[in-house]
Structure formats: C-alpha cells, structure tokens
Amino acid sequence: MASIVKSACPLNCWDSCGFQVTVENDKVIKVEGDPSHPITKGKICGRGRMLETRTNSPERILYPLKKVNGKFEQISWDQALDEIALELREIKEKYGSTAVLHSHDYANNGILKNLDQRFFNAYGGVTELYGSLCWGAGIEAQKWDFGDAYGHAPEDVLNSKNIVVWGRNVARTNMHFYEKLLEAKKKGAKIYVIDPLYNATAKVADEYISVKPGMDGLLAAGIIKEILRFGLEDREFIELHSYGFEDLEDLIKGITLEKISEMTEVSIELIQLLAKVFADKPTSTFMGLGLQRYKNGGNTIRLIDALIAVSGNIGITGGGANYANLQVGQSFDVSNLALSSRKEKQRQFSIMKQAEEVLSAIDPEIKMIVVTCGNPLTQVPDSSIVEKAFSSVSKLVVIEQFMTDTAQLADYILPTTTSFEEDDLYYSSMYHHYVNYGPKLVSAPGEAKSDLWIWTQLAERLGFGEDFQFSRDQWLEMYLQSLSQKGMSLDQLKENHNLELPVKGVPWDDFKFKTPSGKYEFTAINKGIKGQLKLAVPDESKWNNPELAEKFPYNLLTIHPLRSNHSQHYHLFPKAPQLRIEVAENIADAHHLKDGELVRVWNNRGEVKGYLSILPKAHPNTINIDEGIWKRFGGSVNNLTSSGESDNGLGSTLYDCLVNIEKLN
C-alpha cells in the first residue's frame, strides 16, 4: 500500500521546500510539495521532483569500489574502511594529519552533514578549505557593513513600494520568492530588475536595467551620486547610525555621472530613475550571488549596501539589503559539535585555489584528498588544474552517489545514501527561516551507507569511536540544544515537520549593528585601507586589462541551470544534455552565427564546444553557458573560469571571465 509522508528538500537552494513523498514497498514513487508548508505551500521545482529519479536510478553507486590497475573493482566495506583507516593512520604518523585535504562543498543541506568536521578534527586536524565559490565575497562584504548578513522575512516584501532584484535569477533559482514578487506586483509594487541577461524575472519587471557584467558597484555609486545631488538622502540615518559617510562622499566626487554611464553601459536617465526609486521608500533590494562572483565582488556588494543605507532603506519594514539570511543557520549549535579543541594541527587552502595549493603544498605535501558533498572536477574553477591536482595525490577517496567526473578519478569510492534514506534536518541560510524535518523513508539500495555511518566506522578504526557513539536523534537534539531552551524540541519538529526559527523579520530595526563601531560602516573601521570603498572594476575587463580584452572581447557568465542543481541532475535527463552557448545578438551578428550552429568558446585557460543560441536583449558582448554539465557530456565550463579570489579573499571570480568565440564547421 502506498503511503504519503512529509519530508524536505535537501538541495543547496534558496527555497528549502517541504515535500510530500509517496512511498510504496520500500520505494520512493513520487515527490511533490507539502501544501501545509508555511512558505513553500505545496509548490516545488523539477529538481526536487527529480529526487525520485536520483534515488531510484540504476546508475547509483551501490558498493564500495577500489581502483586496481586503472579499473574499479567492488570490495567489501570492511576492506575499504580498513584500508582507508590504515592509510589515514600512516599519513598522520609519517607526514602529520594536514597531509590530508578535505575537499567539500554543500551539496546536501542536512545538519548532520556537518559531522564531517568533527571527524577530521578528532583525527587531529586536516587541511581544510576556506572561502566560498558561491556567496563568499558578499557575505564578507555585509559583515563589514552591518556586522552580519541578515535578510527580511519573506512576507515583508509585500510591504515594499518598490522592489529591486539585483543580479538574482529569481524565476529560475528562487521560485517561492518569484511567487511573492508576483503577489507584491498585484498589490501595486513596482519591480526593477538589474541584470546583464534578460531573464524570466526581467520579463515581469516594470523596468529592466541591462548592465555591463561586474560594473554594479559603479552603478550603485552613480545612483548614490544622483540621490545626493537631488538631496534625497536619509540624513537622520547617516548622522545617527552610520560611520564613514564623508569617505563615501569623497569617493563619489571623484567620478562624473557621464563616466559612470560609459563604464556601466547604463544610461544617465536610468541611473536617475533608480535614484528616485531608492528614495521613494520603502524600497527593498534582493541581491543575487551572480553579481559578486568577480574580483571586485566584495566592493560591489558594499556599494549596493551603501546605496540602500544612504537612501534610508535599512531596518525598515518593506526595505532591506537582502542577500543571505545567516540568522537561520546561527539558530543551531553547529560549532559546539565540531570538537575544534581536538585539532592538533591545522592548515587552510582557499576553496578557489585548492588545486594550485595541492600542487604546490610542502610541509607536508598532500597525500590524500577526501571529497564529500562536492564534485570539484566540474564545479571548481580552472578545471584543467583541478584535474591535474586531484590526479596527483596518492589516494583520492570520494564519498558519492554517482560516478561523477571527480569520482572517476578516485582510488576509493564509498557509496552514500540519498536524503530519503536517512533522518535529518534541513534549512537554508539564504531565504526563509523555517527548519524542515526529513525522515528516513526507504532502505538504502545495495550497500550504500550514510556519510555519518562512514565517519563512525572510520572513527572506531582510528581509536576515537566514542566521539561518534550517538544515535541520529541524539545528534539532532545536540544541534537543537539552544532552541530547546526556547521551547522548541525535536519531537515537536518531527510531529510538525517544520518549525519557524526565532529570528528577526526586519533585521537592524533597532539600528544596533554588529560592527566594531556599532554603526553601519561605509568605511570598515577595523580593516585599514581595505576597509575603504572603491570604484573598482572586474579583473578581466577593458578598464583593467585592455590587451586581454582585445584578445577576448566577450564576458562569459556561467549561471545556474534551470533543471539541474549544479551537476546533480543533468546526467539523469531522458536525453543527454548538450552544452548551449547563449550569446548576445551583437556577437551573433559580428561572427555571422545562427541558432544551433556548433561553436567553440575559448580563452587562455581552456575551451568548450557547444551549440549556439541567440539571447534576445542580453547585454552586448555577453555570453552565457549554464554551469554543471559533466565532462563526458561536453562540460565543464570551468575549463574557462579563473580560480582568482575576490577583493576580500573569500569569494570566487567565476563570472570575471573574458572569452572569444568562433564557428566550427
């Protein structure tokens, strides 16, 4: 008999949806939305629905595999765990524990996935990654400005007069916010979309502002310039609650509006219009992550924050500098369980530059890489170097569900469960503030085991098994400890399937910021010269590197795909995916290219081939290739991207990328 059970989406996404899953004979039959979820209200996207295919796929890795003479052979769990544990023990003795690198991302939002850190710390401390390919530059930027990165509750957008969607592909990546946008529009709010691509969200906007990629900081500076010239700034906020406004004024005086218009490729009329929009409060701003994946990404977010501050849209209902919502994750006791005190040694590599770091590491060299919740061969920039680095180490252990580009290089692959095969709690610190419960619904196929089971087994073999002697419920309760003091319990969560976390719906409404000065900081007081706002441009731009721009005249964006979460779904499509190379009309004209033609896109780092598609209304000289396609299907676009770090060192420069294009015969 089929039963319908409530569950939750584990995917790394803004929305963190509630599910209703049909289960029959220990098998997931269908994944739908849970109509009773307070935010996601029964609607989910195709990626969520496809978790049924991901769970039941015949391509799942079902047994531990070991590479022998270049071929994978099935081995027992005991053999795999014994051999990996022995290797870990020997590496620690001979070279020290930091000869092991833990390479990971956040492919699964489950809270118990964080126990990998506990394992590696109890082992003695490995080389870890810092920074984020995803949102690092912007998070750090908001920490400098506000002291933290907090967003408004989803409902609050209904109080906005104007809504500015700045570089967020809402209709594609954040579907429940898209619904809210439509609701707000119906109530009379005006929507402005600032993006180099005329995406599905731009289509519902009252005004679409097409901008040169990477130039948004300058655009914000131009809008501030006009706000100040019209005298529309919020003097009370500036005088009572901010620090460093004079520095911002000086900066803005150093450039003319005409120059800003020339560099951003946005007309003076539109800049003036936006000045009036921001002053016509309350105006809420929703920044995406695309616009900060540039060398100048931190400064870009800081200048947009500055614009929102100058116009008095901070701490007010219907306003806000919405980027992420770290309040959500801060509700849980994640760091308490990491056993950081057990680290005897530590070393950190930048997530962007992990491959270069592996290749150049000394004292100790990297002897083993363990990959969890990530597919670096496809997702980390500058793929050819990533491939070299991950092939260079003597042992590569990949914990995976599928034979990804990364798994193919492994010495050991350990098969892991999908979310429907284990109990966990799911939340996202990106948008709403509800935590969801996802119970174990079906048995794991073959010999697939949860990541946590793998850590527990390895911990026993390495002599610290007692650190892992807890049931899943006990772990979950430990993560919920602070919340239980506020009257929330695991039982309640299990019964209700989601709970609202006690976070602020309108952050900073008391104007007490978490910065060193306690004020909003236009100039970050403790950051020296780096703390000053600048009129910065991307690394790969004609303003910064004219010779490069001459050779490679087009901006390459590699945005998130519609139907796949990064590299997780493409390989399960009924029809094999193809690389689609989307170009602005002027590029197609200049190279006499037509839809469907085979083209090559290249730069000094690499090349990809794919089929042309002309993008109406895209900003001139812009190309987009959706990210996430595996090498065997013609990917990865990260052959082209750079492993540079953002200005504040914590973000990627994935979209700061110049390329050229040609037709192939």
Q: Please report, as ranges, the residues that interact with Mo ion according to CB under 5 A.
A: 134
Residue 440 Cβ vs ligand SF4, minimum distance, rounded to whole Å: 18
Distance CA 269, CA 271 (A): 5
Residue 408 Cβ vs ligand MGD, minimum distance, rounded to whole Å: 11
Exposure string for 210-237, b = 16+ CB within 10 A, e = fewer: bbbbbbbbbbbbbbbbbbbeeebbbeeb
Task: Tell me which residues in 77-96 interact with ligand MGD (CB under 6 A).
Answer: none
Please give the size of the binding site for ligand SF4, defined by CB under 6 A. Answer: 12
CA atoms 73, 75, 77, 83: torsion sign: negative
Q: Which token pair is 288?
A: 């995406």
Whether the CB-CB separation of 650 and 634 falls below 8 Å is answered with no
Of the candidates 223, 290, 162, 232, which has an alpha carbon nearest to the alpha carbon of residue 556?
290
Q: Which of 305, 357, 627, 647 binds ligand MGD (CB under 6 A)?
A: 627
Distance CA 45, CA 33 (A): 9
Residue 485 Cβ vs ligand SF4, minimum distance, rounded to whole Å: 29
Task: Tell me which residues in 286-315 interact with ligand MGD (CB under 6 A).
Answer: 288-291
Asked if 565 is part of the footprint of ligand MGD (rule: CB under 6 A), the reply reads: yes
**Closer of 417 and 436 to ligand SF4 (Cβ):** 436
Q: Which of 80, 115, 493, 637 binds ligand MGD (CB under 6 A)?
A: 637
Q: Residue 235: which H helix or E strand, with range?
A: helix 235-241
Residues with Cβ within 8 Å of residue 496, at least 6 apart in sequence: 437
Q: Which does 210 bind (CB under 5 to 8 A by kind): ligand SF4, Mo ion, ligand MGD, none?
A: none
Distance CA 302, CA 534 (A): 9
Q: What are phi and psi of 218, to 5 degrees?
A: -65, -40
Task: Tell me which residues in 524-583 interact with ligand SF4 (CB under 6 A).
Answer: 565
If you count DSSP H runs as helices and E runs as strands, how many of each does the chain have, helices first? Answer: 24, 29
Asked if 261 is part of the footprint of ligand MGD (rule: CB under 6 A), the reply reads: no
**Closer of 9 and 321 to ligand SF4 (Cβ):** 9
Residue 552 Cβ vs ligand SF4, minimum distance, rounded to whole Å: 34
Residue 177 Cβ vs ligand SF4, minimum distance, rounded to whole Å: 10
Of the candidates 193, 156, 150, which has an alpha carbon nearest to the alpha carbon of residue 171?
193
β partners of residue 335: none
Residue 31 Cβ vs ligand SF4, minimum distance, rounded to whole Å: 8
Q: Which of 48, 96, 561, 635 binds ligand SF4 (CB under 6 A)?
A: 48
Amino acid at 323: Y
Of the candidates 645, 626, 510, which has an alpha carbon nearest to the alpha carbon of residue 560?
626
Asked if 583 is part of the footprint of ligand MGD (rule: CB under 6 A), the reply reads: no
Pattern 99-128, ligand MGD, x by CB under 6 A: ------xxxx--------------------
- In degrees, rounded to 5, the angle at the alpha carbon of residue 488 between the alpha carbons of residues 487 and 493 is 155
Q: What are the residues binding ligand MGD (CB under 6 A)?
A: 12-14, 105-108, 133-134, 166-169, 172-173, 194-197, 199, 211, 213-214, 216, 288-291, 372-375, 379, 399-402, 404, 416, 451, 557-562, 565-568, 627, 637-638, 641, 654-655
Q: What are the residues binding ligand SF4 (CB under 6 A)?
A: 9, 11, 13, 15-17, 44-45, 47-48, 175, 565
